Amino acid sequence: MTSGGPLPYARQDIDDADVAAVVEALRDPFITQGPRVASLERAVAERVGAKHCVAYSSGTAALHGAAFAAGVGPGDEVISSPITFAASTNVALYQGASPRFVDIDPATWNLDTAAAAAAVTERTRAIVPVSFTGLPVDLAPLDAVRDRVTVIEDAAHAIGAHRHGRPVGGPGGADITCFSLHPAKTITSAEGGLATTEDDELARLLRLFRTHGITKEGIHPSPDEGAWYYEMQELGFNYRITDVMCALGESQLRRLDDFVDRRNALAARYRELLAGEDRISLPPEPPADSRHGRHLFVIHVKGGGANRRSTFEGLQERGVGCQVHYVPVYRLPYYRDRLGVPQDACPNAEDYYWGAISLPLFPLMTDDDVLRVVADLKDSLPA
């Protein structure tokens, strides 16, 4: 039933107001390290109810800053999910620490946080639960270890989501929550990332890390030094975001609810049309008092293996963009061969991986696009 041209699995939605905001920023005296960075941070903090928001050049940079702020270093370990983008655990390696994988909960495809809490040792410095696909991860089981570890939520998929009535990234959530503003995500700044926290000291460290560890705040120059004086207090990175990117990000933020609502409406239509399809399983849903961020709509092909591959290739042949999110991180050659990460510790992640396909999901999709994807999916599934 292929109709029209190729349909991507994701696409940003840029309108005239976004373009105007970027043009205005380009005409300002400061196109980086100017006032628009703080403006975006204030807008996001207000949107999620957080005390602090720190903007970074990418979601990975925000996660790296969070690992630094948590004090992750050599000899430490960081627990996370194997079903995530590699950045979630690469940040542990950047800090000289060791990643440790705990299996996913098959009912949610998120990290099994009860198992993660039970896996904490004296070496564990942080836990990075992932709100995979935009489904808010259950943080409650981690309360038992909050006095021993820092909880860093990788909410790259979950901006605009709610957990039990509260926005992800605000009070009552993780110690630090990290969002991505990549073009495939719900809102974009072309690239970019955000870290929110209620903790003043964590916020100070997050800001320090993105600017080489250099600051002018709270320093005491000698009598012979003046306003030019600065100190490098930590080994940080250049993870600054530009004012041009922030202008786009803040403009996009005004449509966040519309984007999330449209994504949820498209997902509901998928579920309606696929409800009787017994060759697949549909993705998990959040509790009634929570809101899904709907970054991805992942189906699970029953039988996995060759069934998944033939379905994936059939969709691609019909011009339907699809992906697999994700190859379990421990399977990646760097983790498997160079780090020697065990390959048999996460059976639920393996079961998930061998059947997963992400279908197209983005606000610019039409209802007819959904009909097309469903028809092409049914034609691609093995009989």
Kindly state whether residues 300 and 340 are assigned to the same domain: yes
Kindly state whether residues 182 and 304 are assigned to the same domain: no
Query: Is residue 224 within a helix (H) or strand (E), and if so which, with residue range?
Result: none
Domain boundary among 234, 252, 270: 252
The pTM of the full predicted model, rounded to 2 decimals, is 0.97
Q: Mean per-residue pLDDT for 321-347?
A: 97
The tokens describing 166, both together, are 């509260």
Catalytic residue among 51, 185, 216, 302: 185
The tokens describing 289, both together, are 């008092």
Scan for tokens 């449509």, then name that residue: 255
- Is the Cβ–Cβ distance between 223 and 8 less than 8 Å? no
Q: Where are the alpha helices (DSSP H) in 27-146?
A: 35-48, 59-69, 87-94, 113-118
Q: Mean per-residue pLDDT for 231-256?
A: 98
What residues are paired with 55 via a beta bridge? 194
Scan for tokens 């800001």, then name that residue: 207
Q: What is the pLDDT of residue 4?
A: 66
Kindly state whether residues 278 and 218 are assigned to the same domain: no
In a domain, 93, yes or no: yes
Cα(first)–Cα(last) distance of the chain, in Å?
A: 17
Kindly state whether residues 58 and 200 are assigned to the same domain: yes
Kindly state whether residues 327 and 349 are assigned to the same domain: yes
Q: Mean per-residue pLDDT for 321-349?
A: 97
C-alpha separations of 304 from 104, 280, 350, 351 in Å? 18, 10, 10, 8
Q: What is the pLDDT of residue 197?
A: 98
C-alpha separations of 166 from 45, 128, 136, 286 in Å? 13, 19, 11, 13
CB-based burial label for 256 (10 Å; 0-12, 13-18, 19+) = middle
Kindly state whether residues 221 and 119 are assigned to the same domain: yes
In a domain, 92, yes or no: yes
Q: What is the CATH number of the domain that holds 162?
A: 3.40.640.10
Query: Is residue 52 within a helix (H) or strand (E), and if so which, with residue range?
Result: strand 52-56
Q: What is the identity of the amino acid at 347?
A: P
The C-alpha atoms of residue 192 and residue 176 are separated, in whole angstroms, by: 16
In a domain, 8, yes or no: no
Residue 221 has pLDDT above 50, yes or no: yes
**Domain span at residue 128?**
16-252
Measure CA 75 to chain center.
26
> What is the DSSP secondary-structure string of 162-210?
EETTEETTSTTS-SEEEEE--TTSSS-SSS-EEEEES-HHHHHHHHHHT
Residue 167 has pLDDT above 80, yes or no: yes
Nearest to 258 by CA among 154, 187, 195: 187
In a domain, 9, yes or no: no
- Is the Cβ–Cβ distance between 219 and 146 less than 8 Å? no
The tokens describing 185, both together, are 């995500």
Nearest to 368 by CA among 50, 122, 7: 7
- Reported confidence tier of residue 3, pLDDT bands at 50, 70, 90: low
Q: Mean per-residue pLDDT for 169-174?
A: 98
The C-alpha atoms of residue 328 and residue 343 are separated, in whole angstroms, by: 10
Q: Which 8-state DSSP code applies to residue 144?
A: G
Residue 5 has pLDDT above 90, yes or no: no
In a domain, 44, yes or no: yes
What residues are paired with 321 via a beta bridge? none
**Active site annotation includes 51:** no
Torsion on CA atoms 141, 142, 144, 149, rounded to nearest 10: 170
- Reported confidence tier of residue 1, pLDDT bands at 50, 70, 90: very low
Q: What SS3 state is found at 245?
A: helix
CA-based torsion, 367, 370, 376, 378: positive or negative: negative
Kindly state whether residues 94 and 51 are assigned to the same domain: yes
The tokens describing 337, both together, are 């061969």
Residue 315 has pLDDT above 60, yes or no: yes
For 227, list phi and psi in degrees, rounded to 5: -65, -15
Question: What is the CB neighbour count within 10 angstroms for residue 195?
Answer: 33
Domain boundary among 183, 218, 252: 252
- What is the number of structural domains in the chain? 2
The tokens describing 86, both together, are 């590699």
Q: Mean per-residue pLDDT for 59-71?
A: 98
Cα 297-152-336 angle, rounded to 5 deg? 70
Q: Mean per-residue pLDDT for 54-83?
A: 98
Residue 271 has pLDDT above 70, yes or no: yes
- Reported confidence tier of residue 258, pLDDT bands at 50, 70, 90: very high
Q: Percentage of residues in the chain with pLDDT exceeding 90?
A: 96
Which residues, other chains included, contact 29 with Cβ-Cβ below 8 Å and sequence gap of 6+? none
Q: Mean per-residue pLDDT for 254-263?
A: 98
Domain boundary among 252, 281, 296: 252
Question: What is the CB neighbour count within 10 angstroms for residue 354?
Answer: 17
Kindly state whether residues 30 and 177 are assigned to the same domain: yes
Q: Mean per-residue pLDDT for 71-79?
A: 98
Q: What is the pLDDT of residue 218?
A: 87
- Reported confidence tier of residue 300, pLDDT bands at 50, 70, 90: very high
Q: Mean per-residue pLDDT for 297-313?
A: 97
Q: What is the CATH number of the domain that holds 354?
A: 3.90.1150.10
Kindly state whether residues 262 and 202 are assigned to the same domain: no
Which residues, other chains included, contact 162 with Cβ-Cβ below 8 Å and sequence gap of 6+? 136, 168, 289, 290, 291
Q: Mean per-residue pLDDT for 215-229?
A: 91
- Reported confidence tier of residue 220, pLDDT bands at 50, 70, 90: confident
Q: What is the pLDDT of residue 93?
A: 98
pLDDT tens digit string along 122-159?
999 999 999 999 999 999 999 999 999 999 999 999 99
Kindly state whether residues 72 and 207 are assigned to the same domain: yes
Kindly state whether residues 95 and 197 are assigned to the same domain: yes
Mean pLDDT score across all residues of the chain: 97
Q: What is the pLDDT of residue 272?
A: 98
Residue 2 has pLDDT above 60, yes or no: no
